[in-house]
A = this chain, B = another copy of it.
Amino acid sequence: SEVKKIAVIAGDGIGPEVVAEAEKVLKVTEEVFGYKFETEHALFGGIAIDEKGTPLPVETLDICKSADAVLLGAVGGPKWDTNPKELRPETGLLGIRKALGLFSNLRPAVVFDCLKDASTLKPEVLEGTDLIVVRELTGGIYFGEKFRRQSEQGEEAVDTCAYNVTEVERIARQAFEIAGKRRGKLASVDKANVLETSRLWREVVIRVAADYPNVELEHVLVDNCAMQLLRRPSSFDVIVTENMFGDILSDEAAMLTGSIGMLASASLGEGSYGLYEPVHGSAPDIAGQGLANPIATILSLALMFRLTFGYEDAAAAIEAAVAQVLDAGHRTSDIAVDKSKAISTSEMGDLIVAAI
């Protein structure tokens, strides 16, 4: 079959370790399923700041653009936190999202059976929780004009939040499509009782809804959603919301599953192009010690197979292999009850490879 190009960004902290395991998985799926992949590594984030003087070097963007999909480990760390804005890893993150047109961020929040007890929520409340937050990723207050000015009350800072009809419509359509393939329930989250962007958001979502009569739509105010996620997490199927609200609610949703170290995410643009990364961060405190859990990154690869390449067989095989290894009781230290029996990052990777 056709060779698929994957840009691989290891990044900072535990990024290189978890990405290395995902690459092992990539290799074995080639052998097992006959797919062909070409990988190209690129510098991004803190390491790119150190080596190239910018978090998002032009070559990195070129490599990503010429690839069919991007696999990202994690970026950032205290080392770069006090840098000026242009020299911070998150500036690279915002830049790559915009440059690659990744307007949609999918963050599934599911409960792994073996991690049920890791949640701070009662098991009976969590039961059946399986939701996706669809977050708009290239608009809103993240990308609006920002500046300082003098006011009569001292220096003033300004951020601008803007959304146009096209931006809302494409993310809404995608969310309806996803909901239609799941349990058919979509919660659109906004603050329409206060924000003009939210009123536009709601108008467009209502208009798009007419094309998806089989999806049940509810509008939830963002403050209420922050509560309902706690009260009735299992009642949500797909949640669609703007950039800033999505940042907050997707983290809340991920944390309540107790499985945050195992969750994958996808950032998609037009067509099948996508960037895939674990939900967890670069965890600089445990970097380089073989302690990191590679499962979220490996599951991100499975998501890539499913959403970008349509390789459902390989995606399902990876997911089944992960489940099998967990069922057999293997744990990295982050999810081990008995830490003394924890296995290393590469041992976990090897076990998953063997299971495939």
Contacts and interface: CB of A to CB of B under 8 A. Distances in A.
Interface of A: 88, 90, 94, 120-122, 125, 141-142, 144, 146-148, 151, 153-167, 169, 191, 193-197, 199-201, 222-224, 226-227, 230-231, 244-245, 247-252, 254-256, 260
A248 B231 contact: no
12 contacts: A120-B230, A146-B195, A148-B200, A153-B166, A153-B167, A156-B163, A157-B199, A158-B196, A160-B161, A224-B251, A230-B230, A245-B248
Chain B CB within 10 Å — which of A154, A164, A201, A256 has the most? A164
B120 A197 contact: no
Q: How many copies does the complex hold?
A: 2
A194 B94 contact: yes
B200 A155 contact: yes
Given A120-B121, A165-B155, A223 B248 contact: yes
A193 B154 CA distance: 22
Given A90-B193, A141-B141, A226-B249, 11 more contacts: A88-B193, A141-B161, A146-B195, A153-B167, A156-B165, A157-B201, A223-B248, A226-B251, A227-B252, A230-B255, A231-B255
Contacts of A223: 247-248, 250-251
Contacts of A230: 120-121, 230, 252, 255-256
Contact of A252 (B157, B245, B252, B254): B252
A117 to B, nearest CB: 9
With most chain B CB atoms within 10 A of its CB, the pick from A197, A222, A250 is A197
A141 B161 CA distance: 9
Contacts of A156: 162-165, 200
A163 B149 CA distance: 10
A285 to B, nearest CB: 15
Contacts of A88: 193
A158 B158 CA distance: 13
Contacts of A121: 120-122, 230
A230 to B, nearest CB: 5
Contacts of A155: 164-165, 200
B248 A222 contact: yes
Contacts of A260: 227
A141 B144 CA distance: 13
Contacts of A151: 164
Most buried by B among A159, A247, A254: A159
Contacts of A161: 141, 158-161
Nearest to A142: B194
Contacts of A250: 223
B162 A158 contact: yes
Nearest to A281: B224
Contact of A166 (B120, B125, B154, B249): B154
A271 to B, nearest CB: 18
Nearest to A244: B191
Nearest to A117: B122
Given A230-B120, A252-B226, A157 B125 contact: no
Contacts of A251: 223-224, 226-227
A193 B247 CA distance: 13
